[in-house]
Amino acid sequence: MRKIDDIAIDMGLDPDKLEPYGHDKAKVPLDAFPNVDDKAKLIVITAITPTPAGEGKSTTAVGLVQGLAKIGKKPVLTIRQPSLGPVFGHKGGGTGGGKSTVEPAVDVNLHFTGDFHAIESAHNLLAAMVDNAVFRNSIEGFDASGVTWRRVTDAEDRALRTIMTGGGGRLNGPVRETGFDINAASEIMAICSLAESYSDLRDRIGDIVVGWKRDRKTPVTAREINAVGSIMALLRDAIKPNLVQTSEGQPAIVHMGPFGNIAHGCSSILADNLAMNCGDYVVTEAGFGADLGFEKFMDIKVRQGGPEPSLAVIVTTIRGLKWHGGVTISEMESPNPEAVRKGSENLKNALRIVNMYGLQAVVAINRFPTDSKDEVTMVKEVAKSAGAFSVQEADGFMSGGDGMTDLATAVVEAANQPTEVKLLYEDKDSFFDKVEYLAKSLYLSRDVTWGPMTKTTARRFADNGWNFPVCMAKTHLSISADPKLKGAPTGHTLPIRELRILAGARQIVALAGDIITLPGLPSQPNAWDIDLDNDNKITGILST
């Protein structure tokens, strides 16, 4: 690996202003950001609907940066920080794979620079201060029945989804039911991903709604709890983007990590703003498929001040299309052009979604050794006929940047085409109209059903002036709310069962179907394989 000071110099940063964490990673203070007139072009990486086979979106993002460097460009990568839950659970690390990784990969996947710990501490401190305010009766009209602020953990611990607090006597506070969410779903995580400055962060933290007074019309905020100052102290360093590098030495900014299926699924606006001033192409990644992470990238992140992308890259695999065409995992290595054609309906829908935002789309076929020539040719034909600007094979895993130059060349050509970015709805549109539009235009639903009190809750939010974008929390395994529906199903129903207000993050979370905000460990978690060897090196995290 190169020294982090050399990476900074390549970006036009003053290495003396960095806050180093060893020789291979550093934080970039906000006052060290350069500001140039000629901003980079932003490329957002999205994908078909995920499958158990994995599509390699992060590997493609890293590999594209390496490929851009191979053709003489000056690229910068911005990606989310992996969450410990998936690292020790089923998904594993989030730093790419093979010859296209972010380094130091082990550090990035584990404690890194402590951002997630700071966010978890800040979130749970606020929970403690809320409970204390209730116990002390310090806010008139606010009691335990009105508390909505849950706690968070970075472990996939299903036993904490629903808990009782306050047991054991009156000195422990009133007994009430509550629970934990995963740290990546914390509103404070979302806020840190969207804030553009310390003052913006302070305002957003103050706006967090922690509960309701007894009239169920008046919100109680973190500002009223008097928690803002302490939270700001805990987040002082977490708000600074983290600088590392790809395995071929290009700059990579890894910052924040909201989940793509239960949160808005993007790295931070600050990371993008930094990168846009430090190169000619910025490659970023949106969580999961085009119907989730990409939609939220546009309708939440760009809407709230994030830079507009010049195009999107849609990652697909032959294996993934076979899955959407009805093939099982055990049969994926056998050629099956008909299943690929059938599953390509999902790719067509991803292309349609990207085009709805006024963006060109380049399709990247992430290659595997078992892909047949006929299957690859078929996907190229389908994607081109569905409106892809270009379709290229990607081989970053096996070949690093050398396997990504064709994709990089196509991306440069597409990024130079004129675009007119458009969002899918107006802020002033009613919440019901926003949900209906997403359901029918993106998810191809026939209708929407509303669970008990959801419409009343939505009207209460509107009465408080919260005309925010929708953050849809649903399964990532289907464009519907049913993970069993593969491909591009139509005519299904989107069931909205609960709404949550994230006033600081300026979004309304709509929980659709049986979505779980705190995953549990699988039957064979990655935690079984992670260890420390005799040389004190951590093993078992990476899929390299």
Q: Can you say how many angstroms the Cα of residue 50 is from the centroid of all Cα atoms in its chain?
A: 14
CB 259 within 8 A of CB 265: yes
What are phi and psi for residue 393, nearest 5 degrees?
A: -80, 145
Q: Which residues contact 418 (CB under 8 A, 6 or more apart)?
A: none
Q: Enter the DSSP assignment of 402.
A: G
202/205 Cα distance (integer angstroms)? 5
Comparing CA positions, the residue from 72, 3, 60, 26 lying closest to residue 280 is 72
Residues 225 and 246 in one domain: no
In a domain, 530, yes or no: no
Give the CA angle between residues 73, 67, 397 to the nearest 5°.
160
**The pLDDT value given to residue 54:** 83
CATH number at residue 70: 3.40.50.300
CA torsion through residues 258, 108, 119, 240, sign: negative
406/146 Cα distance (integer angstroms)? 56
Residues 125 and 49 in one domain: no
In a domain, 37, yes or no: yes
In a domain, 537, yes or no: no
Residues 384 and 299 in one domain: yes
Alpha-helical regions (H) of 137-174: none
CA torsion through residues 453, 483, 426, 183, sign: positive
In a domain, 21, yes or no: yes
In a domain, 426, yes or no: no
DSSP, collapsed to helix, strand or coil, labels residue 406 as: helix
Residues 256 and 403 in one domain: yes
What are phi and psi for residue 166, nearest 5 degrees?
A: 90, 5
Q: Which residues lie across from 445 on neighbouring strands?
A: 492
Please give the share of the chain, as a percent, with pLDDT higher than 90.
Answer: 94
What's the Cα-to-Cα distance from 1 to each of 4, 7, 404, rounded to whole Å?
A: 9, 10, 21
> pLDDT tens digits for 272-319?
999 999 999 999 999 899 999 999 999 999 999 999 999 999 999 999
Question: Which tokens sit at 305?
Answer: 């001040």
In a domain, 358, yes or no: yes
Residues 101 and 146 in one domain: no
Residues 154 and 303 in one domain: no
Tokens 């809407």, residue located = 303
**Domain termination residue (choose one: 208, 235, 262):** 235
In a domain, 420, yes or no: no
Total domains in the fold of the chain: 3
CATH number at residue 215: 3.30.1510.10
In a domain, 411, yes or no: yes
Comparing CA positions, the residue from 160, 59, 60, 241 lying closest to residue 517 is 160
**The pLDDT value given to residue 543:** 52
CB 321 within 8 A of CB 286: no
Mean pLDDT, 10 residues at a time, over the chain (544 residues)?
A: 96 97 96 95 97 90 98 98 90 90 95 96 98 97 97 96 92 93 97 98 98 97 98 98 98 96 95 98 96 97 97 97 94 92 97 97 96 95 97 97 98 96 96 97 97 97 97 96 96 97 98 94 92 93 62
Residues 364 and 298 in one domain: yes
Residues 343 and 485 in one domain: no
Residues 252 and 401 in one domain: yes
Domain with 94, as residue range(s), is 4-105+241-415
**The pLDDT value given to residue 544:** 40
Residues 221 and 254 in one domain: no
Residues 39 and 157 in one domain: no
Question: Which tokens sit at 510?
Answer: 């709509």
Q: Enter the DSSP assignment of 147.
A: B
Q: Which DSSP helix (H) or strand (E) runs through 364? A: strand 360-366
CATH number at residue 495: 3.10.410.10
**The pLDDT value given to residue 541:** 85
Residues 97 and 129 in one domain: no
**Domain termination residue (choose one: 235, 261, 290):** 235
